[in-house]
Amino acid sequence: MNRRQVLASMAATTAIAATDAKAALPSAGAPRRWVSTSINTPWRSLPVPAFAPLGTDPFAMDVQIQTDKRAQVMQGFGGAFTEKGWQALTHLSPVLRNKAVAALFAPEGAAFNLCRTPIGANDISRGWYSYDEVDGDFDMAHFSVDNDKETLIPFIKAAQVHAPQLKLWASPWSPPTWMKKGKHYAQAPAWPGQPSNGIKPEQMGHEGTDSFILEDKYLEAYARYFRRYVEDYGQAGIPISMVMPQNEFNSAQPFPSCCWTPQGLAKFIPFLGREMGKIGVDIFFGTLERGNPDLLDAVLKDPAAAAYIKGVGVQWAGKGALHDIQERHPNLTLYASEQECGMGQNDWHYPHYIWGEMKQYFNAGASAWAYWNLVMPEDGLSGWGWRQNALITVDRRSGTFRLNHEYYLIRHFSAFIKAGAVRIPTASFSGFENQLAFRNPDGQIIIIVQNELAQPQLVRMEIDGKSLNLNLPADSFNTIAL
């Protein structure tokens, strides 16, 4: 942007702010806050500086918060409920367990409002299970969620105590084994050094093939399986508002997984849509873990499937498709469906990496962010031998827990950005591009900004024709509520 463009932008913004001041200003009485997190001082309150007059030099600022513009509407933040997460929490006293759950879900904590839960076993479950392993039970006469009454359901119920309006979406990692060509929950052999999962070469799945038996009676039964899951969870007081048909449908894994082609998913989605339509549950495409937008397009080219798809969940390498998805399908709701889970170190490096991911997703139009492990034991081991990060780590021997660095990063968003907020675009004038901005439904402006330097950094922001000068602590994440 040259100097003439900068001046034109300033003039346009000032004019809009003058004619639409009510829309640009926070609601009366909205609290002004600044919270900062660095490696040794998480969640520290700092005084919010007063606004200063905007000078005439357009280059005396670093960032313009474009309050006259709107991007996507935000739906929420959260993580995934898992069996191993609940198992870890049971090693805490009831009082400490409640404090840990409150740190995630209470309004004074991270205030999570939108979470993911698995349909049957995943890689963080106690072991393999589905809700109906009786071969040929097309009528779902033996369907049961009794397994989840020991783990996932009490975990979610504990969260609902602090977040009664918590919204949930769900996806399977594998169908019941009798619905798969290979009759095995996995699609690949166990990783080196791990116990065998018993899969035979002829049972393995392969990317670009369909492991599900694509016959109508199996497709109908699997759609009925989804419906029974939603209904039984509803009877337990846990509403499910959306489902995705398959987690990482391209990936043959040593843990529960199932490969599908886009054509196979396009064949299944109408069956699933008819069942979900009876109970008012939405369907998203996903989860997409490849940076190839054509995989989504291939499904949407089928009118029968496209009629049911309201959004898309993207994770891992799928982020490479974000730009194309936004450009080709602006009417689809986009979720960041799973944060990359690291290697169990939970170190200060990883929030820096995830911050970069969050900027990429939100700038591409994502309306929701799902962290992966809400809670893990101190070894961080998945059920199939992968060490993973978590927001909370439980030390089972001492019966204590700790909040990890990534907890505070996600909380810098989730504790401030309300459902229904809109992302506000920003413009950089000095090369500083470490910020995101949102406007809450009450008009409050939320700015999240990182200083990646090892020393304090002054960042000058233009907001509604005024200047806000922020002296950011060294190597810190910051949320400013105005």
- Of 213, 150, 208, 204, the closest CA to residue 176 belongs to 213
| 156-198 pLDDT, tens digit each | 999 999 999 999 999 999 999 999 999 999 999 999 999 999 9
Residue 362: band (very low, low, confident or very high) from pLDDT cuts 50, 70, 90: very high
CA 289/CA 174 separation, integer angstroms: 16
Residue 60: band (very low, low, confident or very high) from pLDDT cuts 50, 70, 90: confident
Angle at 352 between CA 338 and CA 253, to 5 degrees: 30
DSSP string, 398-414: TTEEEE-HHHHHHHHHH
Segment 279-286 mean pLDDT: 98
Phi, psi of 399 (to 5 degrees): 70, 35
Amino acid in the structure at residue 190: A
Residue in the structure block whose two tokens are 């002296």: 471
Provide, rounded to the nearest whole percent, the portion of the chain with pLDDT above 70.
94
- Domain 76-416 belongs to what topology? TIM Barrel (3.20.20)
CA 447/CA 435 separation, integer angstroms: 7
Q: Which residues pair with 180 in a beta bridge?
A: 212
Segment 368-396 mean pLDDT: 96
CATH class of 3-71+423-481: mainly beta
pLDDT given for residue 344 in this prediction: 96
pTM, 2 dp:
0.93
| 101-145 pLDDT, tens digit each | 999 999 999 999 999 999 999 999 999 999 999 999 999 999 999
Residue 264: band (very low, low, confident or very high) from pLDDT cuts 50, 70, 90: very high
Q: Which residues pair with 394 in a beta bridge?
A: 377, 401
- In the chain, where are the structural domains located? 3-71+423-481, 76-416
Segment 30-55 mean pLDDT: 95
pLDDT given for residue 448 in this prediction: 98
pLDDT given for residue 29 in this prediction: 58
CA 367/CA 71 separation, integer angstroms: 10
CA 285/CA 246 separation, integer angstroms: 8
Supply the mean pLDDT for the chain: 94
**Strand, coil or helix: 37:** strand
- Of 344, 455, 354, the closest CA to residue 393 belongs to 344
CA 36/CA 449 separation, integer angstroms: 9
Query: Does residue 122 contact residue 173 with C-beta atoms inside 8 Å?
Result: yes
Sign of CA dihedral 236, 242, 246, 249: negative
Res. 12: pLDDT tops 70: no
Residue 56: band (very low, low, confident or very high) from pLDDT cuts 50, 70, 90: confident
CA 473/CA 458 separation, integer angstroms: 9
- Of 128, 44, 45, the closest CA to residue 384 belongs to 128
Segment 50-65 mean pLDDT: 88
Q: What is the 8-class DSSP label of residue 122?
A: -
Residue 419, token pair as written in the block: 């459902």
Residue 301, token pair as written in the block: 């080219």
Segment 48-56 mean pLDDT: 91
Q: What is the 8-class DSSP label of residue 112?
A: -
pLDDT given for residue 19 in this prediction: 29
CA 419/CA 436 separation, integer angstroms: 16
| 399-442 pLDDT, tens digit each | 999 999 999 999 999 999 999 999 999 999 899 999 999 999 99
pLDDT given for residue 101 in this prediction: 98
Long-range contacts of 8-12 (CB under 8 A, 24+ apart): 9/64, 9/427, 10/54, 10/58, 10/64, 10/462, 12/68
Helix axes 262-278, 216-235, angle to 10 degrees: 40
